[in-house]
Amino acid sequence: MSGAASAVVAGSVACALPAGAEDGAHGTAAGSGPDAKKTPGAKHPRAITMWEFSWIERRWPGAGFEDWDRALDELVERGYNAVRIDPFPHLLAADPHKTWLLWPEWSTQCWGSPDVNRIVLLPALFEFLGKCRERGVMVGLSTWYRKDDADTRMKITGPDAMAANWIRTLELIEQAGFLDTILYTDLCNEWPGEDWAPFMKPLSYGQWDQPASLAWMQKAIALVRERYAQMPLFFSVATGSMAAFGEHDLSYFDLLDPHIWMAQTRDGEFYQLSDYHYERFDNKGYTNLSLKAEGVYRARPDYWQDGLTQAIGQFAEVSRKIKIPLITTECWGVVDYKDWPLLTWDWVQELCVLGAQTAAASGRWLAMASSNFCEPQFVGMWRDKLWHQRVTGAIKSAEIAPELGTGRLYARL
C-alpha cells in the first residue's frame, strides 16, 4: 500500500482522519474537501448505511429499532443521509396487512432476528419512510427475500413474478406519497446467492454472469422500468469474476453495488487464517474470531490494507470502463462481527476509514457506507459518534467524477 494510505491507519482510530474531516473537509485524501465545497451546484455522495430487515424485525426492548425516532435522530447526528432497507416486496405484494411469521437466517449474527419473529408491513413501512423524509434521509430499497413459514419467496418462478412484486411495492409507496424518498431499488441483494434467492438454484454467489441470470435480470429490470421509468434499478451481486463486469452488457443497470471487504480479498485468506467459516447457528466461528482475527490482522496490517485498496481500485476501473456509477452499502473490513467478549472494534474501524477514503478519492462512488455494522444494535461501533462524523464528513465532501453527473441515481442525490 502507499505511504499515504499507511498513514491513515498508523495512529489511533480517533486520529484516523485528517484534521477538519469531522466538519466535512477531507483534504486531498478524498479528492475533494474545501475545493468540492466551493464547486457551484456540485452534488456529493450520500453517506448510506444498511439497515436491511433489522429496521422492522429488531423492535423488541433493547434490540435497537424499538424507537425509530431515536434511531434516526442518532443516524443523522452521525452524519448519514441515506439508509438501505428491505421492504419485503414478496410479502408486501402478497398481503401488506398480514402478520407474517419469519424464520431466522441465523442465531450468531445481529442483523435481523436470531429467532422466529412476526412483522406487519403496513402501515409500518409508511411510518418509517415518513420519519426518514422528515430528516432528509433518502431510502434505498433492497431485499433479502426473507423466509416466512409458507416460504412465499419460492413463488417467484421467473422475472415476471419478481417484477410484479416490486411494481406493487412501488405502487403502494407512490400511493402513500413517499416515492420521492426512494433513492433506488435493488431487485435482490447479492444476486443470485442461495441464501437470498433460493429460487435460482443451482446458481449461487458469484454466478450472476451466467446466461440464465443475465436474462432474468434484464427482463425483471425492463418490466419495472416500464412502470417506473425514472427509478434507478439494478441487482446487487457478490462479485465473482472481476473481468466479467467488462464482458457483459450491463447498460440496463443504473449502478453497481459491489460489497467489498478486506476479509474477502486474496481469495478469502484472512478468514481462512482466522478459521472463520460463516457459521450461522454455531458459535465456534466467533470463538475462532475472538482468538485469532485481530492477531492475524496486526501481524501484517499493510498486507491486508493493500488487498482492500486493490479491490476498491479494481472496481473504480470497472466503473470507468463500463461507465456505470458505484455505491457500496456493505464494507470495508470484515463481513461478520459483533459486540463479543474478546472482539474489539478499533482495527475494524481502521480498515473502514481506509476503505471509505480510498473509494471517495476515486470519484466513482455516488453513495457509500462506513461499514455494515452502522446500526444501533452494534453498540461498540454505534456509540463512537465522532468516528462516524469524521467518516461521513469525508464521504459527503468527496467529488464525483464529472462524467457521472447525469443519470437516474445522480438526479436523486
State the burial class of residue 396 (Cβ atoms within 10 Å of its Cβ: 0-12, 13-18, 19+): buried
Supply the pLDDT for residue 241.
62
Question: What CA–CA distance (Å, rounded) separates 175 from 104?
Answer: 31
Q: What is the pLDDT of residues 288-314, one digit of tens each?
A: 999 999 999 999 999 999 999 999 999
Residue 20 has pLDDT above 70, yes or no: no
Question: What CA–CA distance (Å, rounded) separates 33 from 29?
Answer: 9
Question: What CA–CA distance (Å, rounded) separates 74 from 373?
Answer: 14
Q: What are phi and psi for residue 312, nearest 5 degrees?
A: -65, -45
Nearest one of 356, 410, 386, 402 to 30, comparing CA atoms: 356
Mean pLDDT of 377-392: 98
8 A C-beta contact, residue 167 and residue 225:
no
Q: What is the pLDDT of residues 124-164, one digit of tens each?
A: 999 999 999 999 999 999 999 999 999 999 999 999 999 99
Q: What is the pLDDT of residues 223-266, one digit of tens each?
A: 999 999 999 999 998 775 666 887 889 999 999 999 999 999 99
8 A C-beta contact, residue 121 and residue 87:
yes
Domain that holds residue 309: 3-412
pTM: 0.90
DSSP reduced 3-state for 60: coil
Supply the pLDDT for residue 244.
80
Supply the pLDDT for residue 33.
37
CATH code for the domain of 313? 3.20.20.80
Q: How many CB atoms lie within 10 A of CB 367?
A: 27
How many folded domains does the chain comprise?
A: 1
